[in-house]
Structure 1
Amino acid sequence: MRFTPFDASEFLDSEEAIAEYLAAALDDPDPELFIAALGDVAKARGMAQIAREAGLGRESLYKALTPGSKLRYETVRKVMDVLGVKLTVATGSS
């Protein structure tokens, strides 16, 4: 039996799936999970296209979305704007 590595980006094929995936990643206290999820979404949509539309270099975007990077809010905002998703704030009781 052969196994292939799981690639979440292959399953992020709708706006709803992307929004739910990013929301689930934000629920985890580990910020690395959100960075990885954002990278998966960018990969699903085409990293080069996302980078171009966000005004970033493709290599810079890959580096920014690598675990351990010091991702800046400005970069997160640009990528999320291109992806058509936004962060929202709610009380902890929701």
Structure 2
Amino acid sequence: MKLRSFEEGLLKELQTPEFAAAYLEDALTESVEEFLVALRKYVQANGGMTQGAEQSHLTREALYRMLSSEGNPELRSIHAILKAHGLKFSIQPENETLAA
């Protein structure tokens, strides 16, 4: 029996919308940098950069640049990627006292 690497397993799980949403949300709670790494892995798992760029109506080069370690993407670009994959941002109170 061949063991899958962690990365292979993660990329497969990221093809599931529920897992992907939880993974991206968790990464965003850590930091913007962690979120961008997670988003890059999500794009890789769901067709790669070329397909992700086409679905998001971005150029492949722009997508590579924005998801690189030096990237500084605009919110509208991140929104385009998420929307193209049936995901969306959600803003919630950090704690319950703010919600009351």
Length-normalised TM-score, structure 2: 0.79
Identity %: 28
Q: Which whole-Å CA distance do the structure 2 matches of 1:69 and 1:35 have between them?
A: 9
Q: Given the alignment, which residue of 58, 62, 67 partners 2:64?
A: 62
Aligned to 2:90: 88
Greater per-residue helix proportion = 2
Aligned residues: 90
Q: What do you get for the CA RMSD once the two structures are aligned?
A: 1.8
Letter in 1 for 2:36: I
Length-normalised TM-score, structure 1: 0.84
Q: Which has the larger radius of gyration?
A: 2
Aligned to 1:43: 44
How far residue 10 of structure 1 moved from its aligned partner, in angstroms, is: 3.7
Q: Which whole-Å CA distance do the structure 2 matches of 1:83 and 1:40 have between them?
A: 13
Aligned to 1:15: 17
Q: Which has the higher contact order (CA 8 A, sep 6+)?
A: 1
Instruction: Provide Cα deviations, 1:8-38, integer angstroms capped at 9, x if missing partner.
Output: 424312111100100101111x211011111
